[in-house]
Chain A
Amino acid sequence: MNDLVAKTNDATVITLQGELDVNNVEDLKTVIESELSDGTGKILIDLNKVTYMDSAALGVLVAGLKRARLSNAQFKLANVKGNVENIFKLTRLTKFFEIYNSVDSAMESF
């Protein structure tokens, strides 16, 4: 998994790609925790290029959101679609996260 962390004045965008599962989920956890520890107040996870996600990866996003809330940071998702959308719907986590159809619309919401 190659993470791409792009920081602008407005927010940190973490662009994920490929298949996220229990095997590479520690990388994702490290990236998110690192951004939250840096005091980033606005985090956007772009899932546009993610083709598959299991519950371990989903768990890391849930943990990220919970931790962000504790530090009054905003934690949003963009481009939840296809198989990725399926697992969010199956677990009813669509209502737990703020989800946007594009990075642009998510950025405007911060």
Chain B
Amino acid sequence: MSKNFKNDEELTVRVVSDEEIHMSMLAVGKLIKPIREQLYEFASGRGFSDDQIYEIQLAVNEALANIIKHGYKGEKRGEIELSAETNRFGDLEIAIQDFAEKVDLAKLVSRDLEDVQDSGLGVYLINNLMDEVEYDLSREKGTRLILKKKLKQE
């Protein structure tokens, strides 16, 4: 899976087809903004409203931030693969694969909002912003997070 990223290739974007893009990134926070921008380009061209795109961007933002902080624990050479794909109904599926230690689902709890803390809101937001959230731990290494958003016809 190693891509041997060069210094100037911290983020690569590959358009697979009209319905699918792939992105590879190193686990560094500064790449979250360009990923958000790529997702805006992709989703806005496929009928998603600005409100829905905001929700998608924030959910992916939170997922990537969690991988960088808790998965790779700041190790900047860690790799993350992200794909975004629409199906024949126009619904969006995003898969985020990391190669860090697998997520411990027992510890992955959504925050109690009554207990106001200054961290740990990410999982709560992901669960509330997307229509479906699934963690696939079946691969030899890492976690594959699958996020689904239905296209709302307005």
B116 touches A54 (CB 8 A): no
B65 touches A59 (CB 8 A): no
Report if A2 contacts B (CB, 8 A): no
Q: What is the CA–CA distance of A21 and B35 in the complex, to the nearest angstrom?
A: 13
- What are the residues of chain A within 8 A of B68 when measuring CB–CB? 22
Q: Flag A70-90 by CB within 8 Å of B: 1 or 0 each.
A: 000000000000010011001
Q: What is the CA–CA distance of A59 and B32 in the complex, to the nearest angstrom?
A: 17
B62 touches A55 (CB 8 A): yes
* A4-12, A34-42, A60-68 - the one binding chain B: A60-68
Report if B71 contacts A (CB, 8 A): no
B123: min CB distance to chain A, Å? 10
Report if B138 contacts A (CB, 8 A): no
B62: min CB distance to chain A, Å? 6
Q: A54-B61, A55-B62 are in contact. Are A62 and B116 (CB under 8 A)?
A: yes
B32 touches A55 (CB 8 A): no
Give chain B interface residues in 23-48, CB to chain A under 8 Å.
29-30, 32-33, 36
Size of the chain A interface, CB-CB below 8 angstroms: 22
Report if B54 contacts A (CB, 8 A): yes
Q: A22-B68, A91-B113, A92-B113 are in contact. Are A58 and B121 (CB under 8 A)?
A: yes
- What are the residues of chain A within 8 A of B129 when measuring CB–CB? 90
A21 touches B33 (CB 8 A): yes
B118 touches A66 (CB 8 A): yes
Q: What is the CA–CA distance of A94 and B17 in the complex, to the nearest angstrom?
A: 42
- What are the residues of chain B within 8 A of A109 when measuring CB–CB? none
B33 touches A23 (CB 8 A): yes
* One of A21, A63, A91 near B121 (C-beta < 8 A): A91
A21 touches B113 (CB 8 A): no
* Chain B residues with a Cβ under 8 A of chain A: 29-30, 32-33, 36, 54, 57-58, 61-62, 65, 68-69, 113, 116-119, 121-122, 124-125, 128-129
* Chain A residues with a Cβ under 8 A of chain B: 19, 21-23, 52, 54-56, 58-60, 62-63, 66, 83, 86-87, 90-93, 96
